[in-house]
Chains A and B, each alone.
Chain A
Amino acid sequence: MYQIAIDRSLCSGFGSCAELAPDVFEVDDGGLATVRVGRSDDPAVLEAAAACPMAAIQVIEVEAA
């Protein structure tokens, strides 16, 4: 299970996260990424974090509750 956080002060609205892991990330009306769910077991979140040009996405592996 992964815990996901976005540093919105770093986000600049590139949108690659929402494209790679649409169940987890979306781009809001202001053009910034938000997390739809704070936890996910979808490995696409790792890809999204790696692809973020701002390195604004932190993914921490946690024990499943």
Chain B
Amino acid sequence: MPRSVLVVGAGLAGARCAETLRAEGFDGELVLVGEEPVPPYERPALSKELLAGTRTPDSLSLRPPGFWAEREITLVLGERVVRLDGAERLAVTDRGLGLQCDAVVLATGAKPRKLPFATPSGVHVLRTLGDALALQAELASARRLAIVGGGFVGAEVASTAHDLGLEVTMLEAGETPFVTVLGADVGALLAERYRRHGVDMRTNALAAAFRADGSGRVCGIELADGSAVWCDVVLVAVGVEPERSLAIATTDAQLAGDAAGGPGHWTSAAADGVAAARRILGLEPLPAQAPFFWSDQFGLRIQLVGDTRPAAAVEIEGHGSEFVARYRAADGQLVAALAANRPREVAALRAELALAA
């Protein structure tokens, strides 16, 4: 067992890893280093309550003040690890801080994908608390928001911005949003819901370039078909890619969370952090749980259990404002289930899924 552990990345996976190490009896030196200047927080709230102004940054903290110090987990915040030296057992941050350790966990998360053309001011991404506060500040004085990307982050921000009174345009590159994750039928139900709330939901809409005004600020988006969308603020939400620059440099570390290339869901990041801690301590892995994901948008709470990727068919029961979708493989086996505004059915669906497995 190592005498000291360094967890790089203070998101959910890193936080769960550190607290699990302590909870399972690790009594060596334990350092959690994070690039953001704040203790681990609930990232899912950024696109919803934080952006809406109904929760403050402080209230998003994953654990109460004092939690980390009580467990002798040293938080090193606002520092980005830029180099790992396996032979020297040393990590070096961008500000020149050296951190010695016997074992390293890389929970460096993911970074938002960018569009392949020039980005004027007023174009945002949403991943960190800093991103969310910057977007929030601009939404306060904006009238029209355009969102590039028809995924969950885009849909949640569209919902929040709509509630704040903005006109919202969503640009989805495909025929229907969510086709690959939820299937075309569920995607169509959701797109229909956005439209009924007044969102200008455009499909087959491929962004080609930004238009900027005389001061260099975004004023519109040109689409590949020659049309344009006018707006004051843009959110680019076209997915994320694992942050792995450190992982490439070293082979002698555990990967956890989004950096490991998982589905990017809360529960998988949390479980990954726990699993990395248990591996370090030589403990048996915990039994695997079905992946779980949820999203709140336009008055709909979507809860998804299982993995839709192997699904060949989707059965939908209900209607646009409350439904259950069952995802089945080609042999009829249930592989995932989605509940939309049917929170009381989630436990039963989860049990049904466990029986099918």
Residues of A within 8 A of B (CB): 9-10, 12-16, 18-19, 27, 29-32, 50-51, 53-55
Q: In this assembly, does B319 line the interface, its C-beta being within 8 Å of a C-beta of chain A?
A: no
Contact check, B346 vs A31: say whether CB atoms are below 8 A apart.
Answer: yes
A52 CB to nearest chain B CB (Å): 9
B: which residues have CB within 8 A of A? 16, 19, 42, 45, 59, 62, 266-267, 270-271, 286, 289, 292, 294, 301, 303, 305, 343-344, 346-347, 350-351
Cα distance, A30 to B342, chains bound together (Å) = 9
Asked whether, in the complex, the Cβ of A12 is within 8 Å of the Cβ of B347, the reply is no
| Supplied contacts A14-B267, A31-B346, A54-B270, 10 more A-B pairs, CB within 8 Å | A9-B45, A13-B294, A14-B305, A14-B350, A15-B350, A27-B343, A31-B343, A53-B266, A53-B271, A54-B266
Contact of B347 among A9, A19, A55 (CB under 8 A): A19
15 pairs from A and B in contact (CB 8 Å cutoff) = A9-B42, A9-B45, A12-B294, A12-B303, A14-B346, A14-B347, A15-B347, A16-B350, A18-B347, A27-B343, A27-B344, A31-B301, A32-B343, A53-B292, A55-B16
Contact present for A12 and B42 (CB under 8 Å) = no
CB-contact partner of A16 in B42, B289, B294, under 8 A: B289
> In chain B, what residue has the closest Cβ to A59?
B23
In the complex, A18→B19 CA distance in Å? 23
Partner of B343, one of A9, A13, A55: A13
Specify which of A10, A27, A54, A55 lies most central, judged by the most chain B CB atoms within 10 Å of its CB: A55
Tell me the dominant secondary structure on chain A's binding face: loop
Minimal beta-carbon separation of B53 from chain A (angstroms)? 16
Interface of B is mostly: helix
A54-B267 in contact (CB<8A): yes
| Cβ-defined partner of A15 (8 Å) among B42, B270, B301, B346 | B346
A50-B286, A53-B267, A54-B267 known; A12+B292 contact, CB < 8 A:
yes
CA distance A9 to B49 in the complex (A): 11
Nearest-CB residue, chain B, relative to A32: B343
Quick one: given A9-B42, A13-B303, are A53 and B343 in contact (CB under 8 Å)? no
**Cα A9 to Cα B292 with chains together (Å):** 16
Q: Are B42 and A30 in contact (CB under 8 A)?
A: no
Query: Is A51 a contact of B350 with CB atoms below 8 Å?
Result: no
| Nearest-neighbor residue (CB-CB) of A46 within chain B | B23
Find chain B residues with CB under 8 A from A30 CB: 343
CB neighbours of B59 from chain A (8 A): 9
A32 to B351, CA, bound (A): 17
* With A15-B346, A30-B343 as contacts: A55 and B292 at CB distance below 8 Å: no
- CB of A51 within 8 A of CB of B289, answer yes
Which residues of the other chain, A, contact B346 by a CB distance below 8 angstroms?
13-15, 31
Contact A29 B344 (CB under 8 A): yes
How far is B42's CA from A24's CA once the two chains are assembled, in angstroms?
Answer: 26
Closest residue to B354 on the A side, CB-wise?
Answer: A19
A50-B275 Cα distance, complex, nearest whole Å: 12
State the CA gap A18–B348 with chains docked (Å): 12
Q: How far is the CA of A51 from the CA of B42 in the complex (A)?
A: 18
Chain B positions within 8 Å of A53 at CB level = 266-267, 270-271, 289, 292
